[in-house]
Amino acid sequence: MNKSYFIKRLLLIPVTLFGIMVLNFMFVQLAPGGPVEQMMLKLETGMSPDATARISGTGAMMASSTAQGGDKTTSYRGTQGLKQELREELEKRFGFDKPLWERFFLMMKNYFFFDFGKSFYQDKTVISLILEKMPVSISLGVFSSLLIYLIAIPLGIKRAMKKNEAFDWVSGFFLTIGYSVPSFLLAIFLIVIFAGGEYLNWFYLKGLVSDNFNELSLMEKIVDYLRHITLPVISLTVGGLASLCFLTRNAFLDELGKAYVTTARAKGLSETQVLYKHVFRNAMLIVIAGFPSLLIGMLFTGSVLIEVIFSLDGLGLLGFEAVQNRDYPVIFGSLYLFALLGLVLNLISDFIYTLIDPRIHFEKRMM
């Protein structure tokens, strides 16, 4: 039964991905100013005399990029007075001389083969930029997600078993504080205390590793890496840990109040057997449901401010700067990859549901 459901879900992935790209492509057209306008503005407001030569030198790179978005009809005041020939040349090199629909379908055709073109402003392919920034985001996302699940689930179970006892109240108080404090504010506090502020100097503030990382021994490399990554990971972990702990506690309390738990206890099963043989499997379903969104958020969206504060050059910062600079190949290439990854992770989470509880039939739920 579930086999046909997963086949349908697989077939829906390209349709959903296409819809996401259409909507975002259209929204970009509403934003004032595109790469052409920004380049012309820079030329008029003080770029060096050889700027035009540099543009010509990068013309082939711009033309090879899949012409993602941009509105020819929009212009800043700073572009007024520049030669129309220059504008037309820039539009041609960016690919904006083609109709909107043609640009979109050309982009999607290339994306189907994972050809994302080159950045408009850096002489690098989109894939190489993503791979270059990936270690930072993977470090932050994976470590934060693992810590959140490894700490929040046991703590949530413990709080459920100790409902309304001192442990439950005290832990709930500190978790509420952790949930309420924004990650960037916690990051600043940690920097002041532990990273060369007024007090301790245990951790580093810039980059993922030190400049002399390759010269260090294996143990020194591990220590150096941990001194760079610890504070950013803590900053991202605290809020997510608190929310998942609350979710786990409530899920287990809900299951503990059901009739099958009373029956299991009446049969003489111990609390440990009741908890881990019966309750755990059912309560964990709702917890697993949030894993894809948590991981995607940690990897690509939730770490932008943290990357800025700790001078970490990751995917979140790459996407933010691409939006600022209207670097459409980077914007749409990143969106395509991240959306595809999110859809696949959601499908995997449904598959894990069936592993935990084979009684679940998604096909029946869809009817």
Quick check: helix, strand or coil at residue 201? Answer: strand
d(Cα 311, Cα 207) in Å, to the nearest integer? 6
Q: What is the pLDDT of residues 210-260, one digit of tens each?
A: 888 888 888 988 998 888 889 999 988 888 888 889 988 888 888 888 888
Residue 34: what pLDDT?
66
What's the confidence (pLDDT) of residue 151? 92
* Gap between the Cα atoms of 184 and 353, Å rounded: 34
Contact of 244 with 226, CB cutoff 8 Å? no
Q: CA angle 189-144-214, nearest 5°?
A: 85
Spatial CA neighbour of 175 closest among 156, 157, 196: 156
Q: What is the pLDDT along the chain (367 residues), one digit of tens a residue?
A: 567 777 888 888 899 999 999 998 888 777 766 666 666 666 666 554 334 434 434 443 333 444 445 444 444 444 444 456 666 666 666 667 677 788 888 888 888 888 888 888 788 889 999 888 888 888 888 888 888 889 998 999 889 888 889 999 999 999 999 888 888 888 888 888 888 767 788 888 887 888 888 888 889 889 988 888 899 999 888 888 888 899 888 888 888 888 888 888 888 888 778 887 778 877 777 777 667 667 666 666 557 788 888 888 888 788 888 887 788 888 888 889 888 888 888 787 777 777 766 666 655 544 4
Q: Which domains does the chain have, with CATH numbers?
A: 31-120 (no CATH), 127-325 (1.10.3720.10)
Token digits for 73?
A: 């009809």
Decide if 118 contacts 125 (C-beta within 8 A). yes
The predicted structure's pLDDT at residue 18: 92
Would you state the pLDDT for residue 76? 44
- Amino acid occupying residue 145: S
- Which H or E run contains 347? helix 328-356
pLDDT at site 360: 63
* Close Cβ partners of 147 (under 8 Å, ≥ 6 residues apart): 233, 237, 241
